[in-house]
């Protein structure tokens, strides 16, 4: 028999968790990477493929469509010959960049700690 479930003492929970809402924006393979590379300015599809070499064209297309539907990315058709499309961050997309930078910073610290621990463990 398990322990009795205690009542949560939080007064009024928000209708939806803000953290969950924010993380849902970053959901999907490669979505944070796409946002990261768009943070410096607009990029064409081929440029994003070059920036993220391990992403397939199919997945990049899917991520860009999802990010556009979420209001994080805009798609601008450039009248040129041949026609091309440029993607850029919206204001909401730019608001996520500091959070992504913080995650990158922690990841770099974790990576350096893992490297120093491996060096210390080697005889």
Q: What is the pLDDT of residues 17-26, one digit of tens each?
A: 888 888 888 8
CATH architecture of 20-121: Orthogonal Bundle (1.10)
Instruction: Say if pTM beats, i.e. exceeds, 0.75.
Output: yes
Contact between residue 64 and residue 72 where contact means Cβ atoms under 8 Å apart: no
Cα–Cα separations (whole angstroms), residue 18 to 15, 31, 44, 108: 9, 19, 32, 26
Q: What is the pLDDT of residues 29-53, one digit of tens each?
A: 899 999 999 999 999 999 999 999 9
Domain edges within the chain:
20-121
């Amino acid at each position: 028999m398990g322990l009795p479930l205690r009542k949560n003492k939080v007064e009024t929970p928000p209708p939806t968790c803000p953290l969950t809402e924010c993380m849902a924006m970053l959901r999907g393979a490669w979505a944070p990477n796409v946002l990261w590379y768009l943070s410096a300015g607009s990029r064409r599809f081929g440029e994003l493929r070059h920036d993220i070499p391990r992403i397939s064209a199919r997945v990049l297309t899917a991520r860009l469509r999802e990010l556009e539907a979420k209001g994080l990315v805009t798609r601008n058709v450039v009248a040129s010959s041949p026609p091309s499309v440029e993607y850029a961050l919206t204001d909401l997309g730019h608001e996520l960049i500091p959070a992504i930078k913080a995650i990158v910073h922690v990841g770099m610290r974790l990576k350096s700690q893992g490297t120093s621990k491996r060096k210390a463990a080697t005889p």
